[in-house]
Amino acid sequence: MGKYRLAVISGDGIGPEVVAEAVKVLKKVGETYHHEFEFREVLMGGAAYDACGTCFPEETLEICKQSDSVILGAVGGPKWDSLPGDERPEKALLKIRSGLGLYANLRPAIMHRALSEACPIKQEIIGDSFDIMVVRELTGGIYFGDRGYRTGRYGEEAFDTESYSEFEIRRIARIAYDTAMARKKKLVSVDKANVLESSRLWRKIVTEMNAEYPEVEVSHMYVDNAAMQLVRNPGQFDVIVTSNMFGDILSDEASMITGSIGMLPSASLGEGAFGMYEPIHGSAPDIAGQNKANPIAAILSMAMLLRYSFGLKEEADAVERAVTEVLEAGYRTADIAKAGETATGTKEMGARIVDRI
Ligand code: IPM
Ligand code: MG
């Protein structure tokens, strides 16, 4: 029996709807396995901007730091798109990741057998199934580098900078090697070392560290090739490790080949057990408030929370099993339903999963 304090950032768009279902799932886990989860709602993103004039209130970071982990829905939307870059909801997300020291983002892309028909790639390419873990560096690289405007030869110029230190590469590579050790021991490091200096350092360090993990078979792939290989033969990948921007892009691609981005969870981790857990999808303002969103990514994020931050393996398995059972029973939210199939709403999907825990 444990007691856990969670900060909850519902955020914008469909964020509050999917987080509500995720919270119900945790409450049911608490009842069934005798744990106490305490939830504290905090504001970030557009919702925070509307309520207090900033997307990232100071109090939010403080409360998150005092919690055992953070649950996040999604932030952003057209309403706040015209804010200056530094004040946007997306910037708040970058700031909280960095403020909490969450430099490693784990994004599993697993195809559920029951959903193989939603997969946009031909059956003969996909094979039986695939199970990829994208390990994305989350607090460095071009999303955090020097940026700005300057006057160049042809007038105004804008620039962003990609930069990685040995320290940053080493710590994310360690997470990737450890992850690979717990899986099929195959690691692909993705970079653009044929062009970028930062990628050459990345490759050198990942290669050196192989000496500490002789059992891991490591290889290197340029990002353009990796993007192609993911749709050509996804089954070849086990763990992928890559920079912040490449990981942002490749994890969306990897998620789409599973059938729907609405299915995939993520964990952001640093040193220690603390983490932030969020679906990898965005705020989907077009379907917000309509009970249409798929809550499964948020719910599976709770399984990751239970597993990675709280070490509750049995409970995590129970959540994942409940999701599989509901899919096998044929329930589908609109994003994963076939044409003509009746779609299950967000709340009903959540309730059916809760029932099976
Ligand atoms: C993601 C998102 C964010 C990112 C945006 C909203 C800042 O795309 O979590 O992948 O780029 O990291
Ligand atoms: Mg993204």
**Ligand 1 pocket: which of 80, 90, 95 to mutate (most atoms within 8 A of CB):** 90
- Asked whether 253 lines ligand 1 (CB < 6 A), one says no
- Asked whether 248 lines ligand 1 (CB < 6 A), one says yes
**DSSP symbol at 337:** P
Predicted structure pTM score: 0.94
**Ligand 1 pocket: which of 44, 70, 248 to mutate (most atoms within 8 A of CB):** 248
Strand ranges inside 67-164, DSSP E: 69-74, 104-110, 131-137, 147-152, 155-160
Tens digit of each residue's pLDDT, the chain (357 residues): 789 999 999 999 999 999 999 999 999 999 999 999 999 999 999 999 999 999 999 999 999 999 999 999 999 999 999 999 899 999 999 999 999 999 999 999 998 888 887 788 888 888 777 899 999 999 999 999 999 999 999 999 999 999 999 999 999 999 999 999 999 999 999 999 999 999 999 999 999 999 999 999 999 999 999 999 999 999 999 999 999 999 999 999 998 888 878 899 999 999 999 999 999 999 999 999 999 999 999 999 999 999 999 999 999 999 999 999 999 999 999 999 888 889 999 999 999 999 999
**What is the three-class DSSP state of 238?**
coil
Scanning the chain, the segments in alpha helix (DSSP H) are 15-33, 46-52, 58-66, 89-99, 123-126, 166-181, 197-209, 223-232, 244-256, 296-304, 313-328, 346-355
